[in-house]
């Protein structure tokens, strides 16, 4: 297995992120029915404002989605492209150096958004469309390889079982990652994601979190998408709008255990958590240092 036990620089678009650099991926949904913001950034003006706010708060990547992850109204390929491609092009024009990601499982959408300027394809459904990796390779962009337990897009898990959930996660994500590289995706632009909630119950997601070192030991950069997820809600018995504290606690643990990329709704709060954890780890100095020095 590649680079076992070690990490390398992560390269996405024009950016290179060092081994100890924690990367925030801000969520901007071009959907009218997203589970968290209920369509707050569906309109273009609101979405651009969200991008600007996220960048100002410390986001390194903007992840643009055109289809709600959960069940809901059907969104055709053409409609998903309409919601994402032109928006990607305008974000690229306004922010030439920003890393732009698009959350999609469809290769047709991947083709359109890469042509518009996307740097990363976030395949949250675990390679259900194998041509998406081919598109990433052809355009030389990055790819997120996610474990979804074999679930079909926009479905919820039902009585899902694993003999060993992390063994399954490792087998799927590293397999997808190696396939992507074999197709021509730059190795330094491939990320793996345990897929919290996707094809998993709450206990599976909690176990995946505490066993993150097994993923980081592979050498592939690890992305965690924790923000306001159902496993946080069930663990604490909190509704969607009251899951920030649980999300930030899980973020801190994930950072300590070696995750490198964090897909989030609340950028400023996440940045503070990551800065604090990395300062404790000794990989980031305090922003100021006055106490006891005068």
Out of 106, 260, 263, 271, the active site residue is 263
Out of 30, 83, 179, 229, the active site residue is 229
Asked if 35 and 47 touch (Cβ cutoff 8 Å), the reply is no
Respond yes or no: is residue 263 known to be catalytic. yes
In a 13 Å sphere around the CA of 11, the CA atoms on its Cβ side amount to 8
Q: Is the dihedral of CA 23, 7, 129, 194 positive or negative?
A: negative
Phi/psi-derived region of residue 240, left when phi > 0, alpha when psi is between -120 and 50, beta in every other case: alpha
- Residue among 49, 54, 65, 5 at smallest CA distance from 26: 54
In whole angstroms, give the CA distance from residue 271 to residue 251: 10
Between CA 201 and CA 153, with CA 70 as vertex, the angle to 5 degrees is 85
Bridge partners of 194, per DSSP, are none
Respond yes or no: is residue 38 known to be catalytic. no
Known catalytic residues?
229, 263
């Amino acid at each position: 297995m590649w680079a076992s036990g070690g990490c390398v620089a992560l390269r996405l678009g024009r950016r290179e992120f060092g081994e100890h650099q924690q990367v925030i991926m801000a969520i901007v949904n071009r959907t009218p029915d997203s589970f968290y913001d209920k369509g707050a950034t569906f309109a273009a003006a609101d979405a651009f404002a969200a991008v600007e706010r996220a960048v100002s708060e410390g986001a390194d990547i903007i992840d643009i989605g055109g289809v709600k992850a959960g069940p809901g109204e059907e969104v055709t390929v053409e409609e998903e492209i309409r919601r994402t491609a032109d928006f990607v092009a305008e974000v690229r024009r306004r922010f030439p150096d920003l890393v732009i990601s698009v959350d999609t499982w469809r290769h047709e959408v991947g083709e359109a958004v890469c042509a518009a300027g996307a740097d990363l394809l976030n395949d949250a459904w675990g390679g259900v469309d194998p041509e998406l990796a081919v598109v990433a390779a052809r355009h030389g962009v990055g790819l997120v390889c996610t474990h979804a337990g074999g679930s079909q897009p926009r479905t919820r898990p039902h009585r899902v079982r694993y003999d060993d959930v992390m063994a399954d996660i490792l087998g799927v994500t590293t397999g997808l990652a190696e396939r992507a590289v074999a197709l021509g995706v730059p190795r330094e632009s491939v990320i793996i994601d345990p897929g919290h909630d996707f094809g998993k119950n709450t206990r599976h997601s909690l176990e995946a979190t505490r066993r993150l070192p097994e993923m980081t030991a592979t050498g592939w950069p690890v992305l965690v998408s924790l923000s306001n997820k159902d496993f946080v809600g069930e663990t604490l018995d909190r509704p969607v709008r009251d899951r920030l504290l649980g999300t930030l606690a899980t973020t801190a643990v994930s950072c300590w255990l070696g995750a490198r990329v964090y897909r989030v709704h609340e950028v400023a709060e996440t940045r503070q958590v990551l800065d604090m954890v990395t300062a404790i780890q000794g990989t980031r100095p305090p922003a100021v240092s006055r106490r006891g020095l005068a």
